[in-house]
Structure 1
Amino acid sequence: MSTAHANAEMKSWDEHTWDGKRYDEVTGPKQTVGGMTTAYTGDLDATGDLRFVMSYSDDDSCVTTGYEVVTGTLNGREGSFVLHHTGDFHDGVASSTFTVTSATGDLAGLTGTGRITWPQGEPGRFELDHDLR
């Protein structure tokens, strides 16, 4: 088992309530859907395309689940893989745990789990504990 580390930089964010309003135009409890594009640098040099569903208990906290397609290079091997995320946002920090669900290219056979921690206004910190057959 190896651990890959990378920084994460948000490149785009799109989040709306079920009825199409921007997430920040609706206060209080709500459910939203959206997407985010991320640039990863480090042991993982890649772009991530995440689609998610969020459930807010109030304006400052939520739980989320989603799938991210990551395309690029992991420790020098090129391909793509899919991560299933489960996470939350509390006290200004987004955090998620994830599992690799599939992989292609030189990354075919990749398995693993990991975590990302993302303090608001700062780069995210990505870690993936993985095996590659």
Structure 2
Amino acid sequence: MSTQATGPVEMKSWDEHTWDGKRYDEATGPKQTTGGMTTAYRGDLEGTGDMRFLMSYPDDDTCRSTGYEVVTGTLAGRTGTFVLEHVGGFRDGVAEGTFTIVSATGDLTGLTGEGTVRWAQGEPGRYTIDYDLS
């Protein structure tokens, strides 16, 4: 039986550039970018995340993204590190996506599950994780 964890997630840093090194917002029209983000999770998960991603923009207002995030923290009273595989995008002022837990270490070894994350522009983010922890 799965357990659900929820709470706010705060973006602490964001770094995104086109393949040729320009800031993502300095290039207009279709483009591809790579970057990184650090996050702070609160609520049922207390921890920090370090994510690397790839993004593809068909225009300046929408994109699709994929990436991996290493989360270090405490979930269900257990401390460790786990990796999330993200797929998502940005449209109409909202960044949202899904993720799958692909590995875990420490007291979180055996953690499996999936979840969602959503950031409306100018608002705090929210996450939901449905997980099993043996």
**Normalised by the size of structure 1, how large is the TM-score?**
0.99
Q: CA RMSD in A?
A: 0.5
Counterpart-to-counterpart distance in 1, 2:126 and 2:108: 21
Partner Cα separation in structure 1 for residue 66 and residue 34 of structure 2: 10
CA deviations on 1:42-73 (whole Å, 9 max, x unpaired) are 00000000100000011110000000000010
1:86-129 Cα offsets, whole Å, 9 max, x none, are 00100000001000000001100000010001101111110000
Q: In 2, Cα distance between the equivalents of 1:122 and 1:74?
A: 24
Instruction: State the TM-score, normalizing by the size of structure 2.
Output: 0.98
What percentage of aligned pairs have identical amino acids? 70
Question: How many Å separate the matches in 2 of 1:54 and 1:78?
Answer: 31
Q: What does 1:1-133 align with in structure 2 at a 5 Å threshold?
A: 1-133=2-134
What SS is found at the alignment partner of 1:42? coil
Give 5+ residue unaligned stretches, structure 2.
Answer: none
Q: Tell me the distance in 2 between the aligned counterparts of 1:68 and 1:96.
A: 13
List alignment gaps of at least 5 residues for structure 1: none
Amino acid at match of 1:2: T
Equivalent pairs, count: 133
Q: Which amino acid aligns with 2:17?
A: H
Q: Runs in 1 of length 4+ with deviation above 3 angstroms?
A: none
